[in-house]
């Protein structure tokens, strides 16, 4: 009898120990989740800011014009985007400095001027495209751009200049949720999933201007130069360090995968609805029809809301990324939480870009959808300059210590930079000398 009671007590102790282990494991998981949620922001915002007005226009055009045949591009782009974003986030966490700051310190005035000029041209053009996206979205609701664009510009300016970093970050993360509509719509459109699978694994490539224009636009809007500047500066401003590298890396890759998933479903939904019936996109209303399986007659409303939210997100991130880079390059004070007196160059640059972007977007008879596509091509053409600078910095052992790239990261990153450069040059060659390459 005593032996049985002892056995029961021993079994009870074992259960208690298992229970304690289970509680500790649960608490450890919760701590990891809370740690990630505390870090969440820079990577998620940067990756999804790429799905902006120009991005939606580009991906919708890909689906409408080429069906599922360009889906294969998303696989290498996802890997390249994640690696490039992670390199910049890692540099921010290890060095505590933004990208432009490091370029100025390590490469001198000439390199800094070249990279800053590339960023300024790309970011200014894309900032205009974001306000163009706001105009296109609100005109679907019958609101004139002369009303909606100035209102949006003032709202974005107030949010950033008068708000804290935490408030700005939360607002940007909420705006990212508008992309979920395309995921649902893609399933409701009942695409040919076998054709989708073929498009993902069977590469197709054509050396002709229209194809190369779209191809460069896809690369330019997915791996935009401003995204690298923003993610590194945001990591620095948030105070993230090398000790939090694991959570930072997770944030970047989760953001990259979510952003690419949205791209995939935008292309699938437009291919299933527009390409199937030979509808070419000439404006926002055409792109909106891809959401009809989900929203029916309210497709334009849903698309308008999504386009407006995406444009607002990037219209805040773009000028911020540019303000960070200019302030860092010139050695001035920077930060969303700073006042105009503390950071006049930073907030002045941000204000100037918002004002100019909004002013150009309200020009009468501006071809809104074409502007969105052209700005993404400019991004793609200027991207190699930024990529080569990032690669030189992240492989500097004096700067990064043990956090330099490994062989695999270097191979993928250098291959990305070389291929983007080659495709950009090929596009320029075919555009300037049409018919020079014949197959």
For 196, the 3-state DSSP assignment is helix
For 219, the 3-state DSSP assignment is helix
Share of the chain above pLDDT 70, in %: 71
Confidence (pLDDT) at 341: 80
* Identity of the highest mean pLDDT range in 183-187, 195-199, 211-215, 314-318: 195-199
Q: Where are the chain's structural domains?
A: 40-432
Confidence (pLDDT) at 51: 64
Whether the predicted pLDDT of 37 surpasses 50 = no
Q: What is the DSSP letter of 72?
A: G
* Identity of the highest mean pLDDT range in 39-48, 248-257, 424-433: 248-257
Rounded Cα distance, 405 and 183, in Å: 34
Distances (CA, A) of 342 to 165, 234, 323, 330: 15, 18, 14, 15
Q: Helices in 238-298 by DSSP H: which ranges?
A: 245-273, 284-288, 292-295
Alpha carbon 394 to its chain centroid, in Å, reads 20
- Domain 40-432 in CATH: superfamily? Amino acid/polyamine transporter I (1.20.1740.10)
Whether the predicted pLDDT of 35 surpasses 70 = no
pLDDT tens profile 9-21: 655 556 555 554 5
Whether the predicted pLDDT of 144 surpasses 80 = yes
Confidence (pLDDT) at 150: 92
pLDDT tens profile 254-308: 888 888 888 898 888 888 877 776 766 665 555 665 666 655 665 666 667 777 7
pLDDT tens profile 412-438: 888 888 887 787 777 767 666 665 554
Share of the chain above pLDDT 90, in %: 5
pLDDT tens profile 94-131: 998 888 888 888 888 777 887 777 777 777 777 887 88
With a CB cutoff of 8 Å and minimum separation 6, the contacts of 234 are 41, 42, 45, 46, 92, 169
pLDDT tens profile 60-84: 888 888 889 889 989 988 888 888 8
Q: Is 326 in contact with 349 (CB distance < 8 Å)?
A: yes
Average pLDDT over residues 193-208: 87
pLDDT confidence bin for 198, thresholds 50/70/90: very high
- Give the CA radius of gyration of the chain: 24
Confidence (pLDDT) at 308: 79
Query: Higher confidence at residue 8 or residue 382?
Result: 382
With a CB cutoff of 8 Å and minimum separation 6, the contacts of 279 are 64, 273, 286, 289
DSSP-assigned states of every residue in 131-188: HHHHHHHHHTTT--HHHHHHHHHHHHHHHHHSS-HHHHHHHHHHHGGGGHHHHHHHHH
Q: Which residue reads 């800094």 in tokens? A: 112
Query: Higher confidence at residue 127 or residue 48?
Result: 127
Lowest-pLDDT choice from 21-25, 48-52, 155-159, 322-326: 21-25
Confidence (pLDDT) at 300: 65
Tokens of 265: 């479903």
Rounded Cα distance, 28 and 239, in Å: 23
Q: Which residue reads 């996206």 in tokens? A: 133
pLDDT confidence bin for 370, thresholds 50/70/90: low
Nearest to 98 by CA among 324, 343, 322, 393: 324
Whether the predicted pLDDT of 320 surpasses 60 = yes
For 365, phi then psi, to 5°, come to 60, 25
pLDDT tens profile 148-163: 999 989 988 887 777 6
| pTM, full prediction | 0.72
């Amino acid at each position: 009898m005593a032996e049985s009671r002892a056995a029961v007590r021993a079994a009870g102790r074992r259960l208690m120990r298992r229970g304690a282990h289970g509680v500790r494991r649960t608490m450890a998981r919760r701590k990891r989740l809370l740690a990630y949620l505390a870090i969440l922001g820079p990577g998620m915002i940067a990756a999804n800011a790429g799905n902006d007005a120009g991005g939606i226009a580009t991906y919708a055009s890909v689906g409408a014009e080429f069906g599922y045949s360009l889906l294969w591009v998303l696989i290498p782009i996802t890997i390249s985007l994640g690696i490039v974003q992670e390199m910049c986030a890692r540099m921010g966490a290890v060095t505590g400095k933004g990208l432009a700051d490091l370029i100025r310190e390590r490469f001198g005035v000439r390199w800094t001027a070249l990279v800053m000029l590339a960023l300024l041209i790309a970011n200014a053009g894309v900032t205009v495209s974001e306000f163009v996206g706001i105009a296109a979205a609100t005109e679907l609701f019958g609101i004139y751009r002369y009303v909606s664009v100035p209102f949006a510009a003032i709202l974005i300016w107030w949010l950033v200049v008068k708000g804290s970093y935490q408030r700005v970050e939360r607002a940007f993360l909420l705006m990212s949720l508008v992309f979920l509509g395309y995921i649902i719509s893609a399933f409701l459109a009942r695409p040919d999933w076998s054709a989708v699978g073929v498009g993902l694994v069977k590469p197709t490539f054509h050396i002709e201007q229209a194809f190369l224009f779209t191809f460069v636009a896809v690369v330019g809007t997915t791996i935009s130069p401003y995204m690298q500047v923003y993610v590194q500066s945001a990591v620095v401003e948030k105070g993230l360090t090398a000790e939090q590298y694991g959570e930072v890396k997770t944030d970047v890759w989760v953001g990259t995968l979510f952003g690419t998933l949205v791209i995939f479903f935008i292309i699938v939904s437009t291919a299933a609805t527009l390409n199937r019936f030979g509808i070419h996109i000439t404006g926002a209303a055409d792109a909106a029809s891809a959401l009809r399986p989900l929203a029916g007659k309210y497709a334009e409303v849903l698309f308008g809301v999504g386009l407006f939210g995406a444009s607002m997100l990037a219209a805040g991130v773009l000028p911020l990324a540019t303000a960070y880079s200019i302030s860092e390059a010139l050695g001035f004070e920077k930060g969303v939480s700073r006042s105009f007196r503390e950071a006049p160059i930073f907030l002045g640059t941000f204000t100037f870009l918002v004002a100019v972007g909004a002013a150009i977007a309200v020009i009468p008879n501006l071809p809104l959808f074409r502007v969105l596509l052209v700005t993404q091509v400019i991004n793609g053409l200027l991207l190699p300059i930024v990529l080569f600078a990032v690669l030189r910095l992240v492989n500097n052992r004096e700067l990064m210590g043990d956090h330099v790239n490994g062989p695999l990261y270097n191979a993928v990153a250098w291959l990305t930079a070389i291929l983007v450069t080659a495709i950009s040059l090929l596009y320029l060659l075919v555009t300037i000398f049409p018919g020079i390459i014949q197959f």
